[in-house]
Amino acid sequence: MFAKVRNASMVLLSAMFLAACSSSGTFTMKQEMIEPINTQKTVSIWIKSDKVPEDEKEEAKGACSLLQEKLYARLITEGLFKSSVIYPNKGDYSLEVDVVGVRMVSNAARIWLGVMVGASGMEANILLRDETGKVLTEFHADGSSATHPLSSESGSDNAVNQLATQITQAIKKR
């Protein structure tokens, strides 16, 4: 009997450890894509953090800058657009990323407090508009890092990378 309980405990602990070892993210569609994107057009990326709580503003600056860099390249390499520009430059499409939450855990905190400190995370509401201003799709996306300090995906940039991945996946969903 004791061996069965011990084995079940080991399986449960292993599953928790493995789940904490990778970054993750999700997206939830509010409005499905209403018409296809012309992949030969340009997208203007506009990242806002007006709705981020005051105590997260400083963390949001760096995270938003990193997200902008990741989206700038990824939207092209994923074949979604021919080129990308940063707002206020105009594009044929406008990708508006309204960051609503940021939680960045430092490497020092992760080493000292381990899993207890939790994951870094970032969440945003996203709108893709055409040149007339019509909303083509709307969704909410989030990304989080791994919580385990020994994971290669525990850095705060992994949360931002996951958010960028979720944004591109949601747009690809066409």
Does residue 36 belong to any structural domain of this protein? yes
Does residue 12 belong to any structural domain of this protein? no
Does residue 71 belong to any structural domain of this protein? yes
pLDDT digits (tens, 9 = 90+) for 97-137: 999 999 876 555 445 545 545 678 899 999 999 999 999 99
Q: Which domain holds residue 47?
A: 22-172
Asked if residues 102 and 63 have their Cβ atoms less than 8 Å apart, the reply is yes
CATH number of domain containing 141? 3.30.160
Going from the C-alpha of 172 to that of each of 35, 47, 62, 137, 164, the distances in angstroms are: 12, 19, 26, 11, 12
- Among the residue ranges 14-18, 68-72, 118-122, 167-171, the one predicted with the least confidence is 14-18
The CA distance from 30 to 101, in Å, is 18
Asked if residues 95 and 71 have their Cβ atoms less than 8 Å apart, the reply is yes
Does residue 135 belong to any structural domain of this protein? yes
Cβ neighbour number for residue 41 with a 10 Å cutoff: 15
Amino acid 58: pLDDT? 86
Number of domains observed in the structure of the chain: 1
Residue 76 parent element (H or E): helix 57-77
| Token couple for 12 | 């449960």
| Token couple for 136 | 């083509």
Does residue 16 belong to any structural domain of this protein? no
Does residue 140 belong to any structural domain of this protein? yes
Does residue 4 belong to any structural domain of this protein? no
